[in-house]
Amino acid sequence: MRQFLLPALTLAAAFPTTAEAQENSPETAEQSESPAAGGVPKDPETSEDTEDADADAKVDRLTLTLGATLVTSYISRGLVFAAEASVQPSARLSVAVPELDTGPVSDVSFHVGTWNNIKIEPTPGGVDPDDFNRFYEDDVYAGIAFQLGEDWSVSATYYRYGSISGAFASYNDFELIVTYDDTKLWGDNPPLKNFKLSPSLRSVQEGSRPNRRDALYLQPSITPSFDVDLGTRSVHVAVPLMLGLSDHYYDGREGGTYTFGYFRTGVQFSGKPAPDTLPGLTLSAGADLWIPNTKVASGIDGHHFVGSLGLSWTH
């Protein structure tokens, strides 16, 4: 039920956000061979430097990302879950485990996090504004991510969806995302700076969904993206193109279920406003256009725009 919405309307220097955000490559420190492996330190000073490098590498294993995104409405997988404007705070901790790198598998990391949707518009009449009704969704998740070969990235994550306001009963999701990095296919003369398509397939299997069969959701996508230089700053521009498909996730307005749920596109801007003084800060803005299957009970009539503004801090 969760999809991080990253889109909106304006920005001068923006950035990639959490959502996605979710691909943290661990920094590595070059290390000398140990005497047991045949390497002999040149002198005690070199040995001490190596120990310091080892300590730094251990520190660099951890990556913490905190973020918040303001959206004009909350739509996920083509269904409207909150028509009101909402803020979506999140936190993610990734731990690099280079010891698990082997053969074609590299950049192995584990991650845990939380994601929330909090309505910020006035509550409907008759509803106590002081209770927890604004807290529509409160999720926790854990998973693993790694690089496969030079061009493929894989992420597998377990989600526990909940709502402290009781908006829906808790259930589980098991998500697998496979993405191909097509950068090398464009050679030395890409049509735009750092241009790539990033074809990806996201699959989500529901578990223990109350009051209905667990559904399998598929989201094939490509996201053409490139960088634009604005003075001394660089802005990343992405145009998502994706479909929502499922065996029985999409209920029909007049009964039954449908395989095709929606088509989504839009434009997203991202960048670092102060890379020298605040290298961990990223800003984002964009707009999404959702075009649903009109036979599906999606809560969308014809089409729907969602705007967003976001920020994140990575350390």
DSSP for 204-226, written as a single string: EEEES-TTS---EEEEEEE--EE
pLDDT tens by residue, 24-67:
332 233 333 322 333 333 344 444 454 554 544 444 899 999 99
Beta-bridge mates of residue 203: 176, 218
Please tell me whether residue 109 adopts helix, strand or coil conformation: strand
Contact of 264 with 289, CB cutoff 8 Å: yes
Residue 259's contacts (CB-CB under 8 Å, 6 or more residues apart) are 245, 246, 247, 250
For the chain, domains (ranges, CATH) are 37-314 (2.40.160.40)
Beta strands per DSSP E along 170-297: 171-180, 200-207, 216-222, 225-230, 233-238, 241-251, 257-271, 281-292
pLDDT tens by residue, 260-279:
999 999 999 999 999 999 99
pTM for the model stands at: 0.80
Residue 98 to residue 96: CA distance in whole angstroms: 6
